[in-house]
Amino acid sequence: MRRYDVIVIGCGPGGERAAIQAARAGKQVAVIERQHVLGGTRVNWGTIPSKTLRESALFVHSLTRNKLEGIRCEIRDEITVHDFMYRERQVVQRELELINESLERYRIEVFVGQARFIDSHTVAVCGPDGGVLTSLAGDFVVIATGSSPNRPSDVPFDGESVFDSNTILGLPHMPKTMIVLGAGVIGIEFACMFSVLGIEVTLVDTRDKLLPYVDREIVAILEREMGRLGINLLHNDRHASIERLPGDRPRVRCTLRHGGAFESDSLLYCVGRDGNTKGIGLELLGLEPNDYGLLTVNENFQTAVPHIYAVGDVIGYPALASTSMEQGRQAMRHAFNIPGLPSKTETLPFAIYSIPEVSYIGETEEGLQGKGVEYVVGRGDYDMNPRGQIIGDTGGMLKLLFEAGSMRLVGAHQVGHGASELIHIAQAFLRAGASAFQIAETLYNYPTLADLYRHASLKALLAVQRQEAGGSERRR
């Protein structure tokens, strides 16, 4: 039996980064991956493919939104999703090359097969028939098996008219209408993309408010902008039945629990994802996933068996490629006492690639109120920013939260063009412990959306001045 310092199960972003972090510290690492391609959901079925489609959608959006005199944008009837994703193969191919290069550089051994625990230090690599191909022993094990779309038995997935998030990008033709069930991040992102590409979208949110963990002002702007795209957003409902309708082209009828019924060319079901924990022998270790197949870990990503770590989608929220990678690194830093900057999930940046996009980092108003921390809000509106005017995005907003007194930046929330990139300015300011004065005194290129930081900080400082002069903008 081969022996390793670490065995990593699953080679998505979480597993890959855990493996590289340990190997960089000179550890012997084996990775077991059940697919014949590495990269997991990030490269093959989720992040990269969906963002490639989104880039085409943004291109169409900028042409249609700005309505330039003399330029007409028209989408041919016979166009397919595949046509819109013409760069996907190149991007995926390059990502796969980079992953393979990194694993080779650090001499990480990759085994193809389904991983199954034999005991807490031994993992079998199994073939498609379940037979054991080889067994590996490790001092530490990282479970990074990711998640899969939830596929309830009453939803007739067929890859023709009814899809999940793994199959939607294989749409055989562009539908005219689409029902998206589930308004989490994935549902919202697809609803925006398809709407911009000319599809009439109905988005059904199972909750009574969209994205409950995101700043409410930001969500209100997002909802308004989604309405402008033509998305019909329904809250607090879910499907009662879904049936495929006969005809030349497949169609589907979806009846909702609160009585609404919709006929549509296509239906995307994306209510929840389940952790990939079935069949890996967790019962032998006494590890019990929850009802959604998710594992519980402590702040160091250790499961109840201390030398077995779990990272990424398999531990649930926030279930992003970026956070999965960071969790993989943190887990291995903990296992091998490798020094590095500590980072808590709450202090990592988040992005939702809706149209317009949303991004945030640090404290929320609710969080500060819960802790009894006084704070000051500063807002920068795209409408007041020349770059916002030039690009035709006048609906966006940057909202900064400062601790009252010190005026230190503690949180940033943004909706609008470029939010997923611009939030990293807040990340740098947060790390540096910058105050509203310093952010306002910083010089930004002109005209840029980055200048919103100056604007929002000045607004916060102005609010304090007003408060000192007798008003009250300070919140508790």
Ligand X SMILES: Cc1cc2nc3c(=O)[nH]c(=O)nc-3n(C[C@H](O)[C@H](O)[C@H](O)COP(=O)(O)OP(=O)(O)OC[C@H]3O[C@@H](n4cnc5c(N)ncnc54)[C@H](O)[C@@H]3O)c2cc1C
d(CA 274, CA 290): 10
Closest approach of ligand X to the CB of residue 378, in Å: 27
Closest approach of ligand X to the CB of residue 189, in Å: 7
Burial profile 191-219: b = 16 or more Cβ within 10 angstroms, e = fewer:
bbbbbbbbbbbbbbbbeeebbeebbeebb
The nearer residue to ligand X, 124 or 398, going by C-beta atoms, is 124
d(CA 181, CA 187): 7
Query: Residue 238: how many CA atoms within 13 Å on its side-chain side?
Result: 11
User: Contact letters (x/-) for ligand X, 269-288, by CB under 6 A?
Assistant: -------x---x--------
DSSP conformational letter for 68 = -
Closest approach of ligand X to the CB of residue 245, in Å: 26
Structure tokens given for 58: 């943004």
Query: Do the beta carbons of residue 92 and residue 53 sit within 8 Å?
Result: no
Closest approach of ligand X to the CB of residue 388, in Å: 23
The nearer residue to ligand X, 114 or 330, going by C-beta atoms, is 114
Q: State which of residues 179, 282, 310, 319 lies at the interface with ligand X (CB under 6 A).
A: 319
Rule CB under 6 A: is residue 347 a binding residue for ligand X? no
> Looking at 56-64, 226-234, 311-319, 388-396, which segment touches ligand X (CB under 6 A)?
311-319
> Looking at 75-83, 240-248, 288-296, 319-327, which segment touches ligand X (CB under 6 A)?
319-327
Q: State which of residues 320, 391, 397, 400 lies at the interface with ligand X (CB under 6 A).
A: 320
User: By CB under 6 A, what part of segment 142-161 binds ligand X?
Assistant: 144-147
The nearer residue to ligand X, 264 or 277, going by C-beta atoms, is 277
The nearer residue to ligand X, 295 or 464, going by C-beta atoms, is 295
User: By CB under 6 A, what part of segment 18-77 binds ligand X?
Assistant: 32-35, 40-42, 46-47, 50-51
Q: State which of residues 108, 115, 178, 461 lies at the interface with ligand X (CB under 6 A).
A: 115
Q: In Å, how far from its chain's centre is CA 103?
A: 24
Closest approach of ligand X to the CB of residue 14, in Å: 3
d(CA 435, CA 376): 12
Report helix, strand or coil for 379. strand
Q: State which of residues 4, 7, 8, 13 lies at the interface with ligand X (CB under 6 A).
A: 13
The nearer residue to ligand X, 189 or 363, going by C-beta atoms, is 189
The nearer residue to ligand X, 50 or 202, going by C-beta atoms, is 50
d(CA 430, CA 337): 26
> Looking at 3-11, 213-221, 375-383, 384-392, which segment touches ligand X (CB under 6 A)?
3-11
The nearer residue to ligand X, 30 or 204, going by C-beta atoms, is 30
Query: Do the beta carbons of residue 197 and residue 220 sit within 8 Å?
Result: no
CA pseudo-torsion sign 277, 121, 96, 418: positive
d(CA 311, CA 32): 15
Q: What is the DSSP string of 142-174?
A: EE---EEE---TTS---SSSEE-TTTGGG-SS-
> Looking at 10-18, 98-106, 170-178, 456-464, which segment touches ligand X (CB under 6 A)?
10-18
> Looking at 13-21, 155-163, 356-364, 396-404, which segment touches ligand X (CB under 6 A)?
13-21
Closest approach of ligand X to the CB of residue 353, in Å: 5
Rule CB under 6 A: is residue 324 a binding residue for ligand X? yes
Q: State which of residues 160, 215, 265, 313 lies at the interface with ligand X (CB under 6 A).
A: 313
Report helix, strand or coil for 123. strand
Structure tokens given for 194: 């398809």
CA pseudo-torsion sign 293, 299, 303, 304: negative
Q: What is the DSSP string of 292-323?
A: TSPPP--TTSB-SSTTEEE-GGGG-TT--HHH
The nearer residue to ligand X, 266 or 324, going by C-beta atoms, is 324
- SS3 percent helix, strand, coil of the chain, rounded to 5, is 35, 25, 40
Phi, psi for residue 236 in degrees, rounded to 5: 55, 45
Q: What is the DSSP string of 428-472?
A: HHHHHT-BHHHHHHS---SS-STTHHHHHHHHHHHHHHHHHTT--
Q: State which of residues 6, 7, 10, 434 lies at the interface with ligand X (CB under 6 A).
A: 10
Report helix, strand or coil for 12. coil
Nearest to 312 by CA among 22, 38, 11: 11
CA pseudo-torsion sign 274, 278, 280, 283: positive
> Looking at 6-14, 215-223, 227-235, 467-475, which segment touches ligand X (CB under 6 A)?
6-14
Rule CB under 6 A: is residue 112 a binding residue for ligand X? no
Nearest to 13 by CA among 273, 251, 322: 322
> Looking at 239-247, 248-256, 320-328, 332-340, which segment touches ligand X (CB under 6 A)?
320-328
The nearer residue to ligand X, 145 or 161, going by C-beta atoms, is 145
Closest approach of ligand X to the CB of residue 462, in Å: 35
Which residues contribute to the site for ligand X (CB under 6 A)?
9-15, 32-35, 40-42, 46-47, 50-51, 114-115, 144-147, 165, 186, 276, 280, 312-314, 319-322, 324, 353
